[in-house]
Chains A and B, each alone.
Chain A
Amino acid sequence: MAVSTTIDKVAPDKTPDKTGPRRPVVYRSLSSDRKWALRWSYFFLVLFCIFFLMPPVYMLITSLKTSAEISADPATTNPWWVYKPTLENYVELLTSSQFLTFFKNSIIVAVSTVIITMLIAIPAAFSLARMKFWGSTTLATGVFLTYLVPDTLLFIPLFKMLATLRDWTGIELFNRWYVLLVIYPTLTVPFCTWIMIGYFASIPKELDEAAIIDGATWWQTLTKIFIPVALPGLIAATIFAFTVSWAQFLYPLAFTTSNDQLVLPVGIISSLIKGDVFNWGQIMTGALLGAAPPLIIYAFLMDYYIAGLTAGATKG
């Protein structure tokens, strides 16, 4: 039940229920005002929803069209409507070995990054939240500052570092997807450590003191108490690490070039856009398939996703 309590703390949907019975009494004189405020709220929410959902919906619409329909004369057809729906684009992409390679690379890179991130972030957060050592508070602040260092500041020195390392060791490091496994944790570990510190610090001290008096080692305290109790935070951090590595665009664009090493976002942009020829049906299908994994995770784990989002700036 620890799951539901932590989520409720971040998104307390249920709190208005408590004041529910009182509401009619308090607002009776204002009830007509409230009714209008409510109508306007719905009206504007619908408008904003149209704005916010227009691009993904248009992706879906375009992905179902034939290329003949996409390039039909806009004077006679409505681009917002599919006259002859077809799954042609999906079939073509999902049977193309190139696209499947991008997808495979993306999944391997994202999943491995999540695992590496967790292996680094959980012990570090545990030690920073509970077992103080010399400089640990400075380090906690430093972790947060690292999270604020953008990838656009680091890609040029990292590029040069890879080049130097390649010249020293003779191992080719450019154009290899596994190099991304070394680079991506710089984006995910600081944030994950930061929110895990927050979740670990909120666990009552009595819990782990009791365990230690009973003779548990630090390792047992971590695996038997901290990880189970802070599971919601762990899930939020995992989702964050996955979506960030899945969406990362700059590093793979700078460090990988050939078609068998590209990850999905870069692959779609560099292989489906050839010169000035845009095959929009396939590009939109690819973009939608590229957006699908984060969207599916979001659809099923929305509360954890939002908890992680809000925890980043509020915990600590």
Chain B
Amino acid sequence: MVDMTAGQSAAVPRQIRKPKSPIARFFGRRSTIAFLMALPLILLIGVLVIYPAFYSLHLATLNKRMTEFRGFDNFSFLLFKKDAFWTVVYSSCLFAVSAVIFKAFIGFVVAHFVHNIPAKGQRKWRGMLLIPWVIPPAMSTLAWLWLFDSSYGALNWTLAKIGIGPIPWIGEPGWARFSVILVNVWFGAPFFMIMYLASLKSVPDALYEAADIDGATWWQKIRYITLPMMRNIIAITTLFSLIVTFANFDIVRVLTQGGPLDQTHLFATWAFEIGIRSGDIPLGASVSLFMVPILAIAAVFILRDINKRGNEA
């Protein structure tokens, strides 16, 4: 009975239940079989995701040698005594928010350009523009590191040709923050482009034709047709990217290693530095747990949007 209520449409099981045949007995056993088939997944999630998440909470309450319980000492130490913590909070938020905004904007613009050109050429352009997303980020960040090189780097060479002085891409805190964001935008914008392009294709042409006849400007078409039609996909993509960007590790780790002067550390890289490199596991766990509130808020909103989407369909 229980398994019936979980079904999306009750009509189909009711038809099957009527004849009390071997089929009915077969369906009677099916919830057991179903549970067994999902068991590896449940075990994997339970042992390697949910348990570590709560274990992290436990670890965060211990002292450095993990011998005694210290309550919230680690959290209050970070919040009130460690100045570097607030630098990390600031650079993480700056990094995540500005990178997501630029990714969403560039993705939106590029998706429109691809959508504008004749359909038979779109595949080729889309294929080229998605390449940054396909390359493992640790590898592509190495290429950026070399492009940013202060004496032999190709970027400064090119800028010098048009008369712009040498830029300390990763040598100076402000520029280093900019470079980290730039690399993340480069890596993530193609994902937004693909999502928005798929969504643009689902907007009926007739709406734009009607708007043309009514004499709408391009801005009015975007504001009153495109954006409302894409609202859901924009929300989901942005929130999803916010989570991934906020928890980013590879780019900062390879490009700046948190430097100069720990000014570009994100939660993830700082937690790695403290927890693994310096061996203070409880403090590292506390640092990474500070990511949870923002991740949780984003996750709640995504879930709401996904469910809404399910109801519309």
A residues contacting B by CB (< 8 A) are 10-17, 19, 26-27, 30, 37-38, 41-42, 44-45, 48-49, 51-56, 58-59, 62, 70-71, 74, 78-80, 119-121, 123-124, 126-128, 130-137, 139, 141-146, 148-161, 182-183, 185-186, 189-190, 193, 205, 209, 212-213, 218, 243, 246-247, 249-250, 253-254, 265-266, 268-269, 278, 280, 283-284, 287-288, 290-291, 294-295, 298, 302, 305-306, 309-310, 313-314, 316
Contacts and interface: CB of A to CB of B under 8 A. Distances in A.
B157 interface: yes
B147 A58 contact: yes
A119 B169 CA distance: 46
Contact of A149 (B53, B116, B131, B134): B53
29 contacts: A13-B119, A13-B120, A44-B113, A48-B110, A52-B128, A52-B186, A55-B144, A58-B146, A120-B44, A121-B41, A124-B37, A132-B4, A133-B34, A136-B6, A143-B41, A148-B298, A152-B267, A156-B288, A157-B52, A161-B51, A183-B48, A186-B45, A205-B12, A209-B12, A212-B23, A218-B30, A249-B136, A249-B137, A284-B143
B296 to A, nearest CB: 9
Contacts of A278: 146
Contacts of B149: 280
Contacts of B128: 49, 52-53
Contacts of A70: 152
A16 B119 contact: yes
A119 B40 contact: yes
Given A16-B119, A156-B284, A128 B38 contact: yes
A136 to B, nearest CB: 6
A131 B48 contact: no
A78, A155, A158 interface centre (most CB from chain B within 10 Å): A155
A268 B122 CA distance: 35
A19 B143 CA distance: 44
Nearest to A70: B152
B144 to A, nearest CB: 6
Nearest to A117: B44
Contacts of B114: 41, 45
Contact of B295 (A142, A148, A302): A148
Contacts, number: 332
A151 B137 CA distance: 15
A149, A185, A309 interface centre (most CB from chain B within 10 Å): A149
A58 B289 CA distance: 38
Contacts of B302: 148
Q: State the 3 A-B residue pairs at the shortest beta-carbon distance, nearest first.
A: A247-B136, A150-B247, A131-B34
A186 B44 contact: yes
B41, B53, B110, B125 interface centre (most CB from chain A within 10 Å): B41
B119, B134, B186, B191 interface centre (most CB from chain A within 10 Å): B134
Given A11-B198, A13-B122, 12 more contacts: A14-B119, A44-B109, A44-B113, A58-B146, A120-B40, A127-B33, A133-B30, A136-B3, A146-B49, A159-B276, A269-B254, A295-B131
Contacts of A38: 116-117
Contacts of B26: 212
Contacts of A152: 247-249, 267-268, 271-272, 288, 291
Contact of A189 (B6, B44, B59, B292): B44
A146 to B, nearest CB: 5
B143 to A, nearest CB: 4
Interface residues of B, number: 116
B152, B201, B289 interface centre (most CB from chain A within 10 Å): B152
Interface string B265-295: 0011001100110000100110011011001
Contacts of A17: 119
A282 B221 CA distance: 50
B147 to A, nearest CB: 6
B79 interface: no
Contact of A306 (B34, B119, B130, B295): B130
Contacts of A189: 41, 44-45
A38 B147 CA distance: 32
A157 B140 contact: no
Contact of A71 (B48, B110, B152, B190): B152
